[in-house]
Amino acid sequence: MKTEMIVTLTATFEGHAQQTDTGVEYWLARDLQQLLGYTDWRNFLAVISKARTACEVSGHAVEDHFVGVNKMVDLGSGSQREIEDVMLTRYACYLIAQNGDPRKPEIAFAQTYFAVQTRRAELIEQRLLAVERLSARKKLTETEKELSQVIYEQTGGNDNFALIRSKGDQALFGKTTAAMKAQWNVPDNRPLADFAPTIILKAKDFAAEITIFNSRANKLATETATSSEHLTNPEAVRKTLLSRGIRPESLPPDEDVKKVERRLVSEDKKALKNPDGLDQ
């Protein structure tokens, strides 16, 4: 396929993309029918039906990717009539292209176009989740430093801060820090939080923030009082998680956050050197 045609088809496919009020990108099936070179709507509906089946088999909710709608179209007489249409996500378009006739140049292009676009979206989502987790880990570090400082300011010492934090872990997980490290295969010299999923990082941070607030508000003057406070808050957070069907000690560990950080830094450096390489 010539470069000129690729550029033209890319612009055409992107030009027909629309967005819902919530920012979800979609294409209308009637538009896609023309883009893929189908002249008969009934024939194109047969391809959509195959794509729906493929969506269901892949484990995705069909209703999330194929949404039936009705719209008014103008007739030659100046009147209008209602016709059926389907709102299609990028993934739905990809499945339709995969079930089309690859001998059609439009289909051959669409198969690659939507495959690349879908992969790009997956990479963006993965990166955003990684950035969110890294941010949550850094926030927890800052909060725990602040808690240590509050304990020092109000009690005159924080030698037992590691013990206080360990009690917080036991209250949150129902297991000791050592037990969770063994379960998650965390090296002895590494913090448990470096391998915790994002929701646990945020849970620990929230509990620590409450301890900081109450320590200051209630002027807790002993490490025993602070330790008791920091035992109560993770317990409360745990109850909330359990009520929502989330059992902290049953969650699998996540990737070493230091590896995540190194990967993001490496990707940023590559992007600066080769912006086109982001899609690979």
Please determine, for residue 1, whether its predicted confidence score (pLDDT) is greater than 80: no
Which 3 state secondary structure label does DSSP give 37? Answer: coil
Answer whether 86's CB lies under 8 Å from 48's CB. yes
Question: Which range among 6-10, 120-124, 240-244 shows the weakest confidence by mean pLDDT?
Answer: 6-10
Give Cα 42 to chain centroid, integer Å: 37
Residue 262 is predicted with a pLDDT of 92
Answer whether 91's CB lies under 8 Å from 65's CB. yes
Q: Which two tokens stand for residue 230?
A: 């920091």
Considering the chain, what is the average pLDDT of its residues? 85
Backbone angles phi, psi at 183, to 5 degrees: -65, -40
Residue 77 is predicted with a pLDDT of 65
The residue ranking higher by pLDDT, 192 or 122, is: 192
For the chain, the residue count is: 280
Count Cβ neighbours within 10 Å for each residue of 186-224 and write b for 16 or more, e otherwise: beeeebbbbbbbbebbbbbbbbbbbbbebbeeeebeebe
Percent of the chain past pLDDT 90, that is, above it, reads: 46
pLDDT digits (tens, 9 = 90+) for 185-198: 999 999 999 999 99
Which 3 state secondary structure label does DSSP give 14? Answer: helix
Please determine, for residue 243, whether its predicted confidence score (pLDDT) is greater than 90: yes
Q: How far apart are CA 272 and CA 278, in angstroms?
A: 10
DSSP 251: S
Q: How far apart are CA 242 and CA 239, in angstroms?
A: 5
Q: Where are the alpha helices (DSSP H) in the chain?
A: 3-15, 29-35, 41-57, 62-65, 90-98, 105-155, 161-173, 177-184, 198-217, 223-243, 257-273
Residue 122 exposure: Cα atoms within 13 Å on the Cβ side: 8
Contacts 24+ apart (CB under 8 A), 41-49: 47/96, 47/99, 47/100, 48/86, 48/96
pTM attached to this predicted model:
0.62
pLDDT band at 125 (very low <50, low <70, confident <90, very high): confident
Boundaries of every domain in the chain = 3-100, 126-279
Answer whether 156's CB lies under 8 Å from 164's CB. no
Residue 138 is predicted with a pLDDT of 95
Angle 177-184/161-173 helices, nearest 10 degrees? Answer: 60
Which 3 state secondary structure label does DSSP give 267? Answer: helix
Q: How far apart are CA 174 and CA 142, in angstroms?
A: 24
Q: Which two tokens stand for residue 6?
A: 């690729």
CA proximity to 92, closest of 116, 112, 62, 124 = 62
pLDDT digits (tens, 9 = 90+) for 21-80: 888 889 899 999 988 888 899 999 999 999 999 999 989 899 999 999 887 666 666 677
Backbone angles phi, psi at 181, to 5 degrees: -60, -40
Answer whether 204's CB lies under 8 Å from 168's CB. yes
